[in-house]
Amino acid sequence: MDKIKLTGLVLGIVGFSIPLLITFPGLSLAGHLALSIFLLAAVFWMFETIPIYSTSILVILLEVLLLSAEGFISFGSGSGYDPVPFSRFVATLANPIIILFLGGFVLADAAVKYNFDKNMTRILLKPFGTDPKMIMFGLMAVTAFLSAFMSNTATTAMMVTVIIPILAKMEMSDPARISIALSIPFAANIGGVATPIGTPPNAVVIAALNQQGLAIEFGSWMLYALPLALIMLAFTWFLLVKLHPPAVHSIPLEMKGEWKTTGHAWILYVIFGVTVLLWVTESLHGIQSSIVALLPVAVLTLTQTFEKEDIRNLPWEVLWLIAGGISLGIAMSETGLAEWIVGSISWDQMSYVMLLSVFAVVAILMSNFLSNTVTASLLIPLGITLATSGVISGPASTLIIGLIIALSTSFAMVLPISTPPNAIAVSTGVVETKDMIIAGTIIGVVAIILVIIMTNFYWPYIL
């Protein structure tokens, strides 16, 4: 174990122990236990002492052992806590949001298996010609579009294979090599904002809002987030062109490929189209996006288009990570921990705009060092408690605070460790960390400003 992980292990144990050794006034026994789990999880996620999905599994285990009705601790009638069944914590793995992501993962992996992703890229890039600026614009548009429905990481990994031959045709001294290499992860991060399935933080926030009785349809989320994604995509393209302008006016491209015409490939094409169509028209037919997500899972496996080995290769650890975050939110809410935290801070001394701004800044700062999903999982219970307790009294405050947390985390892209897409871009050998810091910082600051503007001048009028 290296020094960083060892430090995380020690701090995690200390954090877990503090609420067990110190009595915090106004916090119940269950709240102290939940705080122990929260501190342990936060430190382990931050230092990656163990794999982040393992931390999520540990969270669920500790909640079952310490906070459930079937656990080791007996809570009396005067404890202020009515233990929930252990199934409440475990069932998060079957949360509708988890099913939605499972459907997205199956579609994405099947697309890669049948070269559907590369063929779509080839077709979509064709209209952008040979001008380096327009090629980069096309790459960003395609990446953002795909990442809106696929994993940001998977999209980046796929698109990096597309830009490698482009980079090979450019002079080594051409600054545009950097902007093209950076354009892929940045566009993937931004594209993930646009849909509920684009990135896990969206799912975490939607799941938390669902528990508050706020159901968000697929199309409604796009109405809230797509304008921000489009503006930031255009701004990021402009910024990269200015920071690293191309040295030439034309890059000859040869993108060859052919469509697979097997029966299984055709099944994928049809199911992919039908699923995406049903997702974006949810408000018209009323079928929940999580239910729609079962369509590709069922049809592609029934027809052997998606086989046993393909299922084994799905990123199950991401689903566990999301489930742990949802479960942690349940514990904080049920034990009164979230409410206690809110009551301990003078939030009412802040103005409405200031408080929302603080959440946006904290979310983006934390996400640069923590997983975006982890950050959303930690902040959303607090944000919802602030909204439901009346501290945030603006219009549609619960939904707005959720949007701020989900969207802000996705614009944390300062460091290679900020998101997996950034790390993939660095692996090309073209991008240096300082390039990412400069561009990522500017993008993050502009994103926060836009989010605050939308909080006051856009979302209140469409919610």
pLDDT at 157: 66
Q: Which pair of tokens denotes residue 168? A: 């090979």
Q: Which of 76, 91, 106 is the last residue of a domain?
A: 91
Residue 64 within a domain: yes
Question: By C-alpha distance, which of 337, 409, 347, 317 is closest to 36?
Answer: 337
pLDDT at 267: 94
For 19-64, the pLDDT digits (tens) are: 999 999 888 999 999 999 988 988 887 777 888 788 889 999 999 9
- Length of the chain counted residue by residue: 463
Cβ-proximal residues to 298 (8 Å cutoff; 6+ apart), any chain: none
- Which domain range does residue 306 map to? 95-115+260-314
Average pLDDT over residues 173-180: 90
Considering the domain architecture, whether residues 47 and 103 belong to the same structural domain is answered as no
Q: Which pair of tokens denotes residue 280? A: 């974006």
Considering the domain architecture, whether residues 36 and 110 belong to the same structural domain is answered as no
Question: By C-alpha distance, which of 327, 293, 45 is closest to 208?
Answer: 327
pLDDT at 445: 94
pLDDT at 303: 95
pLDDT at 238: 96
Considering the domain architecture, whether residues 102 and 36 belong to the same structural domain is answered as no
Residue 151 within a domain: no
For 288-315, the pLDDT digits (tens) are: 778 888 999 999 999 999 999 999 988 7
Residue 337 within a domain: no
Considering the domain architecture, whether residues 277 and 291 belong to the same structural domain is answered as yes
Considering the domain architecture, whether residues 59 and 77 belong to the same structural domain is answered as yes
Residue 199 within a domain: no
For 130-155, the pLDDT digits (tens) are: 888 998 998 899 889 888 887 677 67
For 425-451, the pLDDT digits (tens) are: 776 778 887 888 899 999 999 999 999
Percent of the chain predicted with pLDDT > 90: 29
CB-hemisphere CA count at 13 Å for 395? 10
Residue 402 within a domain: no
Residue 21 within a domain: yes
Considering the domain architecture, whether residues 56 and 100 belong to the same structural domain is answered as no
pLDDT at 285: 79
- Is there a contact between 44 and 55 (Cβ–Cβ < 8 Å)? yes
Considering the domain architecture, whether residues 44 and 22 belong to the same structural domain is answered as yes
Considering the domain architecture, whether residues 79 and 101 belong to the same structural domain is answered as no
- Is there a contact between 234 and 187 (Cβ–Cβ < 8 Å)? no
User: What's the total number of domains in the chain?
Assistant: 2
Considering the domain architecture, whether residues 11 and 78 belong to the same structural domain is answered as yes
Question: By C-alpha distance, which of 137, 177, 183, 179 is closest to 159?
Answer: 183
Q: Which is more confident, 61 or 165?
A: 61
pLDDT at 92: 86
Considering the domain architecture, whether residues 41 and 54 belong to the same structural domain is answered as yes
Residue 294 within a domain: yes
Average pLDDT over residues 254-277: 85
